[in-house]
Chains A and B, each alone.
Chain A
Amino acid sequence: MSEGFAKKVANTQVWKAIFRHGPPNNARNRAAVVAGNVFLHLHPIKLKKSGVQLGYTWCMGGLTFFIFLSLTITGVLLMFYYRPTAEYAFTDIIGLREHVPLGIMRELHRWGAHLMVITVWIHMFRVFMTGSYKPPREFNWGVGVILLVLTMLLSFTGYLLPWDQLAIWAITVGSNMAKATPFMGNGGPGAMLARIGDFVMVSDKNDVRFQLLGGRFVGEAALLRFYILHCVFIPLVVAVLIAIHFWRVRKDGGISAPL
C-alpha cells in the first residue's frame, strides 16, 4: 500500500512542480535528483567508491560545513536578542538565559563553535594523512589553511560578545599579542626606532592593537568591532572561501583517490 501511495504522491502535480522527476530509484532519476537540486548538486552524480566511504574522509569537512550552517542559523536567532553595547550586552545574555523558555540557542551556538574548531583541525589532519594536498590539490589546501585561521578568528571574536570577565580577559590576553607585532605594535621589536625626535610614530594610540580594538583596551569600541567582524565580515569571507573550496574539490577531480 505504502508503495502505491508513494507512487501516487510522486505523480501529483505538486511533487512534479517541486522535484521535476520521480523518486530516485532508477539511474535516470538518481542523476536528476543530484543535478537538479541546488544543494545536492555540490556533489558529483557518480563518484569513486573509495571517496564515499566514511573511513576515508571521516566526513570531517562535511561536518565542518554543516556546523558552519547551523552556527549561522543559531547566530541569527541570537542576534534578535543581543545588543552589542557595554550597557546591554551582558544583561541581554542573562535575559537569554532566564527569559527564553527551553533556551539552548546560546549553548548550541557556543558548543557548536568549539566543535567547528575541532572538526576543522581533524579535517586538516585527515587531508594530510591521505596526502590529499598533493598535486593537483595544492591550491585547495591553501584555501583550507586560510579557512582554518578564519574559523579560529570567528570563534575568537565571538568569545568577547557575552561581555563577562571570561570574555574581556581572554580577549585582552589574545589581543595583547598584537601589541608585540614587530614594527607595527607599540611594544614590538623595532617600534621605538620609528620616531622622529620626540614624536613616536607607533604609539599605543595607533598601532595594530589599537586598530583591532578601536581603543587602547578592550572596551565598547572593541565590542562593536568584534561584533561586526563576528556577525558580518568573517562569516561572509568564510562563505566565499567555502564556495571556492567546494568548487575546487570538484575541479581538482573530486575526493582524492590513488592515481
Chain B
Amino acid sequence: MIKLAINFLSAPLYSFTAFCILFVLAMKRMDIVGTKKFGMGLLIFTLVIFGWMVSDPVFFSVISLPDNIPIIILNALVFWSTWFSLYKGHQNDLRIAAGEPPIEGTPENREKVWAWPNLVYTELFCIIACTIFLIVWAIFFKAPLEEPANPTWAPNPAKAPWYFLGLQEMLVYFDPWMAGVVLPVLIIVGLIAIPFIDINPKGNGYYTFAERKYAIAGFTFGWLALWIFLIQIGTFLRGPNWTFYGPFEFWDSHKVVAENNVNLSEFFWIKGLNVALPKNIFVREIMGIILTGVYLVAVPFYVTKRWGQDMLSRMGGIRYYLLVFLVLGMMSLPIKMYLRWFFFLKYIVAMPEFELNL
C-alpha cells in the first residue's frame, strides 16, 4: 500500500514538484536548515527510509548494480556537502550579524602555520583514507562486464554512463540538439561566466548564506534539482524504453504507456481553430515562434523594465543580459517539463523539415 503510493508519487511530476517546494522552503528557513539538529534529523530520516526501501527486493536489485554504487556515494557526498556548507554559512551569518568576523577570519585562523606538518599531514590522512576506501570498494565489488559487444542487438534500456544520465533524462523533454548539445554548452559557458556575472564582493573566502542568497539559491537549484535529481530519475526510475518505473516496480518491458503528446501547432490549428494544419511551415508554427520570441525577448524586456532597472545599472548591460539569457536557458528545462506533464505538449516549435524541434 505504502509502496504503491511511493511508486505513484515518485513519478517526475510529483517528485520534482515536491523537491522544488522543499528546496524553496529550505532556502527560506536557513535558521532551521543550518543547524546540527536539522542535519542529524534529516540524516536519520533518510537512512531509515533508505534502509526500509533497500529491504525491498526489486529496489535492491536496481540499487546494488555495481555501476550504481557510485551514485549512492555521490548522493551521500552531495547530501553531506550541501548541508555542511549551509550549516557553516549559517554559523558565519550569525557571527556576522553579531558584528564578529566569519570563523575563517578570526585572528587565530588568520595566523600563518607551517605547511609541514599541518597541511602535509592532513593531506596524507586524506590520501590514506581514500586509498583504503577504494581498495575495499574494489575488493567487494567486481567491475561489471557484460556480454561481448554486439552491434546488432541493443540492450533495453541503453543507458549512458550515470554522470550523463541527467542529460539523457532531458531527452524526454527536448530533442537531442537541445539536450545533448545546446544545454550542455550553456552549462559550460554559464559555469565559466559565473565569476564575471556575480559582482557581489561579499562571501569571498568564507562560508556564508545571507550575504549571497540569490547566487547560492540559483546555483544549488541548478546543481541539485536539474542535475543531481535528474540523474536519480534517469538511473533508478527509468526502465525499458525509458519508461518510468516506481522504485518498487518490477521493470516489466511490456508496460505500455500512452504516448499522445501533441505539438503546439496541433493545439492551435486543429483543436483551437478546428482547421487543418497550414501547408507553409512558418505559418503552421507561428504560435510557437511567437511564444519563443516572447520568452526570449518580451519577457526579459518586461521584467527588466519592471524590476530589473536597478540590477541592470549596477551590473552593466553585458553582464545583465548574459545572466538573463543563462537563466532563461536553465529555466527552459523545468518549463518544458511542466508543459509536458500538464498539457502533453510535445514541441513548442516543430519543424521536422529542418530537424528543428523545440
Flag B150-168 by CB within 8 Å of A: 1 or 0 each: 1101110011111110011
> When chains A and B are docked, how far (Å) is the Cα of A86 from the Cα of B108?
61
A-B contact pairs, 20 of them (CB 8 A): A24-B116, A30-B117, A49-B109, A49-B112, A59-B122, A66-B126, A107-B138, A108-B135, A129-B85, A134-B201, A141-B195, A156-B161, A180-B176, A180-B177, A188-B177, A189-B177, A190-B355, A219-B151, A257-B206, A258-B104
* B134 and A43 within 8 A (CB): no
> When chains A and B are docked, how far (Å) is the Cα of A163 from the Cα of B88?
46
Which positions 239-259 of chain A face chain B at CB distance < 8 Å? Answer: 256-259
- Known contacts A48-B111, A66-B127; is A43 also within 8 Å of B120 by CB? yes
Q: Which 7 A-B pairs have the closest CB atoms?
A: A177-B180, A107-B138, A180-B176, A258-B105, A138-B195, A114-B70, A256-B205
Q: Which residues of A contact B175 (CB under 8 A)?
A: 180
* A104 and B139 within 8 A (CB): yes
> When chains A and B are docked, how far (Å) is the Cα of A121 from the Cα of B158?
25
A221 at the interface (CB under 8 A from B): no
A residues with CB within 8 A of B: 24, 27, 30-31, 33-34, 40, 43-50, 52-56, 58-59, 62-63, 66-67, 70, 86, 90, 93-94, 97, 104, 106-108, 110-112, 114-115, 117-118, 121-122, 124-126, 128-135, 137-138, 141-142, 145, 148-149, 152, 155-156, 159, 162-170, 172-174, 176-182, 185, 187-193, 217-219, 256-259
> When chains A and B are docked, how far (Å) is the Cα of A191 from the Cα of B143?
40
> When chains A and B are docked, how far (Å) is the Cα of A20 from the Cα of B323?
54
- Shortest distance between the CB of A225 and any CB in chain B (Å): 15
- Shortest distance between the CB of B164 and any CB in chain A (Å): 6
* B164 and A49 within 8 A (CB): no
- Shortest distance between the CB of A234 and any CB in chain B (Å): 15
CB nearest to A114 among chain B residues: B70
| Residue of A104, A122, A165, A174 with highest tally of chain B CB at under 10 A | A165
* B145 and A177 within 8 A (CB): no
B310 at the interface (CB under 8 A from A): no
Residue in A27, A48, A166, A181 whose beta carbon sits within 8 Å of that of B177 in the complex: A181
Q: Which residues of A contact B126 (CB under 8 A)?
A: 54, 59, 62-63, 66
- Shortest distance between the CB of A42 and any CB in chain B (Å): 10
Q: Which residues of B contact A167 (CB under 8 A)?
A: 149
* A258 and B101 within 8 A (CB): yes
- Known contacts A90-B149, A108-B134, A180-B175; is A46 also within 8 Å of B114 by CB? yes
* B355 and A174 within 8 A (CB): no
B356 at the interface (CB under 8 A from A): yes
- Shortest distance between the CB of A230 and any CB in chain B (Å): 13
B308 at the interface (CB under 8 A from A): no
- Shortest distance between the CB of B358 and any CB in chain A (Å): 9
- Shortest distance between the CB of B191 and any CB in chain A (Å): 5
* A126 and B81 within 8 A (CB): yes
- Shortest distance between the CB of B79 and any CB in chain A (Å): 11
* B138 and A108 within 8 A (CB): yes
* B85 and A125 within 8 A (CB): yes
> When chains A and B are docked, how far (Å) is the Cα of A74 from the Cα of B96?
47
B196 at the interface (CB under 8 A from A): yes
B residues with CB within 8 A of A: 67, 69-70, 73-74, 77-78, 81-82, 85, 88-89, 101-105, 108-120, 122-123, 126-127, 130-131, 134-135, 137-139, 141-151, 153-155, 158-164, 167-168, 175-177, 179-182, 188, 191-192, 194-196, 198, 201-208, 212, 216, 219, 223, 354-356
Residue in B114, B198, B205 whose beta carbon sits within 8 Å of that of A130 in the complex: B205
A30-B117, A218-B151 provided; 14 other pairs, C-beta below 8 A? A47-B113, A66-B126, A106-B143, A111-B137, A131-B208, A138-B196, A141-B192, A145-B188, A155-B163, A164-B146, A165-B149, A166-B146, A172-B154, A258-B206
* A257 and B110 within 8 A (CB): yes
Residue in B161, B176, B204 whose beta carbon sits within 8 Å of that of A170 in the complex: B161
Residue in B67, B181, B198, B205 whose beta carbon sits within 8 Å of that of A188 in the complex: B181
Q: Which residues of A contact B73 (CB under 8 A)?
A: 114-115, 118
* B192 and A145 within 8 A (CB): yes
Q: Which residues of B contact A52 (CB under 8 A)?
A: 113, 118-119, 122
* A180 and B146 within 8 A (CB): no
Q: Which residues of B contact A163 (CB under 8 A)?
A: 148-149
> When chains A and B are docked, how far (Å) is the Cα of A104 from the Cα of B137?
10
Residue in A63, A141, A159, A189 whose beta carbon sits within 8 Å of that of B354 in the complex: A189
Q: Which residues of B contact A121 (CB under 8 A)?
A: 74
CB nearest to B228 among chain A residues: A121
CB nearest to B202 among chain A residues: A131
> When chains A and B are docked, how far (Å) is the Cα of A45 from the Cα of B116?
8
* B207 and A129 within 8 A (CB): yes
Residue in B67, B115, B168, B198 whose beta carbon sits within 8 Å of that of A44 in the complex: B115
Residue in A155, A164, A185, A191 whose beta carbon sits within 8 Å of that of B148 in the complex: A164
Q: Which residues of A contact B207 (CB under 8 A)?
A: 129-130
